[in-house]
């Protein structure tokens, strides 16, 4: 099919191995993905918010129209042509505006609504800031399904024990890196944004996992 021809790698060649240790790390290798992935800018550990979009670099306004498979509110849903998992999607808010890869309160709220519309318990949304493995400086999040990797339908970090319970459903999680977990509550969007806003002001690279 036309869309099948767009993929730069298949999942058939992916090798996975659960690493020993208490954190449940899973190593995955797909040589096709490494060699055939779209060439991206070298986004190092510069300031998280200051890097403007490079007009000569790749962004998601340039993708083949067949990569756009749906829309959600004011965002386009794209296939990831270099998938990490089966069913790997991208959500690109206001794609034609080419906003830089900085999370906003509005996008957090939209992503939580996107998760809530899924009938599958293993649907998760991931965001990486600049300096935290984002390879494209164009605002986007990843949609993935975890059941192909984890029987519990959860990433290992979701099941790590609580190191310290703070007020209002905020928990520090026992993990090798600093990790904060929010319990689901009516004002979870506001709380999540307050935490992200602190990270942005402190210029701390960060990743976000959103789950139903």
Q: For residues 30-67, b (16+ Cβ closer than 10 Å) or e, as one string?
A: bebbeeeeeeebebeeeebeebebeeeebbbeebeeeb
User: Which contiguous run of DSSP H or E holds residue 132?
Assistant: none
Q: Percent helix, strand, coil in the chain (nearest 5)?
A: 25, 25, 50
What residues are annotated to the active site?
140
Cβ neighbors of 81 (< 8 A, separation 6 or more) are 6, 7, 8, 38, 63, 67
At 85, list the tokens: 């998992």
Contact 31, 13 (CB under 8 A): yes
């Amino acid at each position: 099919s036309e869309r099948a021809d767009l993929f730069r790698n298949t999942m058939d060649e992916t090798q996975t191995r659960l690493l020993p240790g208490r954190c449940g790390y899973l190593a995955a290798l797909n040589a096709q993905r490494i060699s055939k992935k779209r060439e991206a800018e070298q986004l190092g550990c510069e300031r998280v918010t200051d890097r403007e979009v490079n007009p000569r670099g790749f962004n998601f306004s340039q993708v083949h129209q067949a990569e756009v498979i749906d829309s959600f509110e004011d965002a386009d849903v794209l296939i990831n042509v270099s998938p990490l998992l089966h069913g790997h999607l991208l959500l690109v808010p206001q794609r034609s505006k080419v906003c830089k890869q900085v999370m906003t309160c509005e996008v957090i709220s939209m992503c939580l609504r996107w998760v809530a519309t899924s009938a599958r318990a293993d649907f998760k949304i991931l965001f990486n800031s600049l300096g935290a493995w984002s390879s494209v400086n164009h605002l986007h999040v990843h949609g993935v399904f975890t059941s192909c990797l984890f029987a519990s339908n959860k990433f290992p970090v979701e099941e790590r024990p609580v190191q310290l319970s703070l007020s209002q459903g905020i928990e520090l999680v026992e993990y090798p890196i600093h990790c904060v977990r929010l319990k689901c509550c009516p004002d979870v969007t506001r709380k999540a944004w307050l935490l992200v806003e602190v990270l942005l002001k402190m210029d701390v690279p960060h990743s976000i996992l959103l789950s139903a």
